[in-house]
Structure 1
Amino acid sequence: DQVEAMTLADKVVVLNGGRIEQVGSPMELYHNPANLFVAGFLGTPKMGFLKGRASRVEASGCEVELDAGCRLFLPVSGTTLNAGDPVTLGIRPEHLNRGSEGNCQLTVKADVSERLGSDTYCHVVTGNGEQLTMRIRGDFTPRYGESLSLTLEAAH
């Protein structure tokens, strides 16, 4: 049970089919997952994934052009990438923001909203069909199919 592991453990071992994927503290695994399995397994709601390509690569970071329609510079080492390489960007629901201010703006369509009191989980779909979940404070409830602008926090 990931919730129990995250709240009670000092060290977590993430297994996938009997194989160890990553070992570390709960927050180390949450913030620095070793692969897509660990990234998608930890966290509620789950991390969203967007496909794209590396468009510029530097030692200090890399620029990614997402298939969903925006480009952003990520402050992560790009030494193992070449321009044109396919990439998958993982983003947690709390790092997606409503609005059009920021360097990577996506237009999405609202799907289902889960109003939980202090938070709302808004499930959205990008123009190319990728699904994301936004965690929004309060009781924001868009209409089904409503067009929304959101930005990604590149630091995360």
Structure 2
Amino acid sequence: MPRLAWTDLAQTPGTTFLIVGELAPCFAGGRREDDPFDSARLRFAANLIVRTCSHLDLKGPFAVQPSREGNNLMIQCVVAESEDFARLGEVTGGREIEASLWCGRRHFLLDNATHDALLAIAGQPDGRGAGRRARAASREAEEQRLRWGHD
């Protein structure tokens, strides 16, 4: 089923299910000094969850949103179908917690073991164009250096 925008699906918690993954400190190599807000790890985790949902052929729509709760990095996934909620709960190893406003809610730790399990379903990320983007960034940095007269 299609991926929807977070605002389109998450605004009706009484009819949807929430699965929250908390990124372990070791996930994706841990924090990096050159990325103080952990944006790269959050994007990596969100991409993994989107690919997992896509490869599971969910019956209903889903939405994925990275978030921060204090010092914790989270990936939230909302699904509309109870079968999808059960399948994602099973593959993530999520445990049910108080549903609050949602029809159901699960929480899981996105550590290296969970990453490996999800990667077996989702497959490797599409790296096409990564080399091109790196060369473009390098070229831009060189142009900036020359533009400003630095050595």
TM-score where L is the length of structure 2: 0.29
Larger radius of gyration: 2
Q: Which has the higher strand share?
A: 1
